[in-house]
């Protein structure tokens, strides 16, 4: 099933998937480690959604951010809530990127590669729009590497669904290598999802995680019923952490 962000998710995504604390800065630091030290880099934020990372990328790297997404409603939310003078939000697809040949210094793909119907074509398009020696950063969760996802403890059906629908990291790397990219690094970065289990519980209730689209209402209600006792038992709030992978690729 293809997720339609124009139908419901655009209304909950902004709050339900907001970055916690210094998580955004953590990812900007991770990206900067693999880039030249220059003050103005043009960035493609592919699959930008509501613009969670777009203003951060503009502030961190100083150039223009071309923030592309296929969902009209997600882009409308981005323009309302994450406007920035150096960010241009535009509609487009991963297989047909609205950017000129050789115009982009690096591309940032956050939690979107599993929504791409043709990853090989996406990789070819990214090679087209990138400058020589340009980088691609794929930030995503991958099948076979999901042990750190906290909410699976109460929603076991969700893990089974994600293991089946998320790509394996090897398959993504292969698609990019076939398009001529080389692998620079594969890193696993631990980030804070929420400040406590109670906050995480409240956020999950917004159902902004696309996995919930594959669960029945009964499965979702049962998961929250299983989670509630753990939330109530948390005397001292503890941050909820999760590890996300980052693939760094380079165009020749």
pLDDT of residue 9: 87
Per-residue pLDDT tens for 52-99?
999 999 999 999 999 999 999 999 999 999 999 999 999 999 999 999
Q: How confident is the model over 170-184, as a mean pLDDT?
A: 98
What kind of architecture, by CATH, is found in domain 5-250?
3-Layer(aba) Sandwich (3.40)
Q: Among 9, 20, 86, which Cα is nearest to 49's?
A: 9
Q: So where are the chain's domains? A: 5-250
% residues pLDDT > 90 (the chain): 93
State the sign of the Cα–Cα–Cα–Cα dihedral 202, 246, 116, 219.
negative
Against a cut of 0.85, is the pTM above it?
yes
* Spatial distance between the Cα atoms of 134 and 218, rounded to a whole number of angstroms: 46
Per-residue pLDDT tens for 13-31?
989 999 998 999 999 999 9
**C-alpha distances in Å from residue 246, one per residue of 28, 137, 151, 237:** 12, 7, 21, 28
Contact between residue 206 and residue 153 where contact means Cβ atoms under 8 Å apart:
no
> What are 191's strand-pairing partners?
242
């Amino acid at each position: 099933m293809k997720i339609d962000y124009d139908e419901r998710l655009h209304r909950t995504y902004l709050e339900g998937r907001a970055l916690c604390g210094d998580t955004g800065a953590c990812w900007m630091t991770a990206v900067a480690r693999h880039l030249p030290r220059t003050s103005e880099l043009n960035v493609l934020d592919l699959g930008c959604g509501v613009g969670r990372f777009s203003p951060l990328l503009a502030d961190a790297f100083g150039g223009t951010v071309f923030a592309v997404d296929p969902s009209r409603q997600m882009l409308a939310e981005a323009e309302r809530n994450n406007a920035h003078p150096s960010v241009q939000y535009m509609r487009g697809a991963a297989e047909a990127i609205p950017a000129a040949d050789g115009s982009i210094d690096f591309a940032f793909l956050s939690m979107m590669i599993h929504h791409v119907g043709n990853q090989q074509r996406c990789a070819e398009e990214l090679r087209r729009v990138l400058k020589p020696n340009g980088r691609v950063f794929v930030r995503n969760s991958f099948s076979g590497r999901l042990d750190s996802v906290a909410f699976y403890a109460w929603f076991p059906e969700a893990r089974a669904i994600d293991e089946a629908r998320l790509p394996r990291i090897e398959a993504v790397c292969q698609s990019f290598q076939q398009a001529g990219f080389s692998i620079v690094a594969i890193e696993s970065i631990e980030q804070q999802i929420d400040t406590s289990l109670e906050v995480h519980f409240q956020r999950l209730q917004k159902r902004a995680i696309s996995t919930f689209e594959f669960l029945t209402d009964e499965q979702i209600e049962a998961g929250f019923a299983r989670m509630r006792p753990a939330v109530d038992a948390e005397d001292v709030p503890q941050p909820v952490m999760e590890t996300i992978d980052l693939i760094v690729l380079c165009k020749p």
